[in-house]
Structure 1
Amino acid sequence: MPDRVNAEIHDVALRTIRAWRRRYQKEGRTRVGGGYPATPCPRCDEADLDEAAYALLLGWYLGDGSIARARRDVFTLQIVNDAWYGDLNQEIAETIKRVKPNASPCLRGGGGAIRVEARWKHWPCVFPQHGPGRKHLRKIELADWQREIVATYPDQLVRGLFHSDGCRFVNWASKPDGRRYYYVRSMFSNESADIRKILTDALDLLGIAWRQPRRNVIAVSRKEAVAVLDGFVGAKS
């Protein structure tokens, strides 16, 4: 709307409205020439952040997410997931909207996979792990403010990690007499030692026993541990 109308609505001096608008435009907080104001950033603007949703989205990002620069210094967050899991793909989109309230995530398909995408100038601010190259070829560590969120919502981080790079299945083993017994097992596979450490630290916070059967795999096999994990992760759908 025109500056004069804006000033009349809010009973503020016209020169004040003009000064605010110019400063916001200079800082990239509104679109020059009109349009909706940009979503404020929890890091740059101290905007409110749904921390539970953020911990969940962080898990998805560390597992199957990436950030790419688009036009006009805007970045695209992309989470890739199997097209078979419709409920989880909708969960990803809703989680993005909880972290960036005015987001309009797009679900794009191809090759049996769904890419859930959303654009924002501040994705690198909220995901400082963003950088060139594959995650397992560079250092991945959480910032202090991220550790505080994960310490409060470790279950949400674990949910995102297991649903991105994990699986849940029925395994079997043999008894001394040759008979088989079956048990549920959850496994997480990721080439990044740093991301595996982020997961195991969260499992430790939750008191969930884990082991590392292979170099790139974290497994949860004990009956009581699987029961706790199933309480907030469960099977994919």
Structure 2
Amino acid sequence: MYDLETRKRTPALLDQGFSQNAVSRRTGISRAAIRSWRVRTEPLDRSAACPRCGDTPLAPQDPVAYSYLLGLYLGDGCISADRRGVYCLRIACADAWPGLIDACAAAVLKVRPTNKVCRVSRPGCQYVTCSSKHWPCFFPQHGPGKKHDREIVLEPWQRTVVDAHPWDFVRGLIHSDGCRITNWTTRRIGGALRRYEYPRYFFTNLSTDILALFTGALDLVGVEWKQANSRNISVARRASVALMDAHVGPKY
């Protein structure tokens, strides 16, 4: 038998996106008990209309969260359909960045507040997942094959959102396929060779279209960048790194 406080706390963990297995490991409660409690709770209201499906399509309810989620999706996201025609959005997040996992789950919930957000553990990472019939409405870039093998172009309404919230888009792309590192080199000062360290940001992607979307957003916010090679964009100038630190920062 479990006390009332435990019965209240466990569904709250499920509502935060943790799977039944994860909650069982964390609390020591059997999965059978968790499953039975979940069945007794009222189902989520899934009747809310998709803002993109109406006669007059509307922008997402939370454009800031959407701009960030769009960056995550283009970097480490995929959409797949089941036999019922329901689509599952999956964003892969490394276990090394628990704050990023939380931010991703929060963004998905803000974009589809009436749908369940889950976290599925895999070796070295977690998939933040959410099922909805409307994910292709939100991400028309969805299609067969890998993103770098097909054209990736933003719809006009997506461009409007990104232009209004470019930093959130940049942050999503960096959180998915980017990093902040410390480079070093040597300089001769006063006749002595000394080590000199400096921070820089990298964004890596195989899709030239996604690289162009990233650099276009950097241009909007005044960040100077260079293309290090065919798949890497570098931000190394001090003022631009400072801007990135203020609005993006390292993964956490």
Q: TM-score range by the shorter chain?
A: 0.7 to 0.9
Matches within 5 A, 1:109-124: 109-124=121-136
Structure 2 contact 44–114 (Cα < 8 Å) conserved:
no
Is the contact between residue 204 and residue 231 of structure 2 (CA under 8 Å) also seen in structure 1? yes
Contact 2:46/2:115, CA 8 A, preserved across alignment = no
Shift of 1:206: 0.3
State the SS of the aligned residue for 1:175: strand
CA distance in 1, matches of 2:161, 2:244: 19
- Same amino acid, percent of matched pairs: 44
CA distance in 1, matches of 2:47, 2:97: 32
Cα distance in 2 between the residues matched to 1:88 and 1:104: 19
The yes-or-no answer on 1:158 pairing with 2:173 is no
Alpha-carbon distance change, 191 to 125 in structure 1, aligned in 2, over 3 angstroms: same
How much has 1:87 moved relative to structure 2?
1.1
Secondary structure of the corresponding residue to residue 231 of structure 1: helix
- The equivalent of 1:223 in structure 2 is 238
Q: Which residue of 2 aligns with 1:36?
A: 45
1:77-96 residue pairs with structure 2 within 5 A? 77-96=89-108
> How far apart are the structure 2 equivalents of 1:88 and 1:50?
19
Q: Which runs of 5+ in 2 are unaligned?
A: 1-42
Give the number of equivalent residue pairs: 204
1:184 and 2:184 are equivalent in the alignment: no
Residue 104, structure 1, aligned to residue 119, structure 2: no
Moved over 6 A (4+): none
1:59 matched to 2:51? The reply is: no
1:196 aligned to which of 211, 215, 224: 211
Residue 110 of structure 2 aligns to a residue whose secondary structure is: helix
* Offset, 1:38: 2.6
Q: CA RMSD in A?
A: 1.5
Equivalent residues of 1:190, 1:217 under 8 A apart: yes
Match of 1:19 in 2: none
Aligned-partner Cα distance in 1 for 2:46–2:154: 30
Helix, strand or coil at the partner of 1:109: strand
Distance in 2 between the 1:104 and 1:218 partners? 35
Kept in 1: contact 2:204–2:233 (CA 8 A)? yes
Hey, what's the Cα distance between the residues in 2 that align with 1:172 and 1:35? 52
CA contact (8 A) 1:39 1:100 kept: no
Contact 1:62 1:195 (C-alpha < 8 Å) held by counterparts: yes
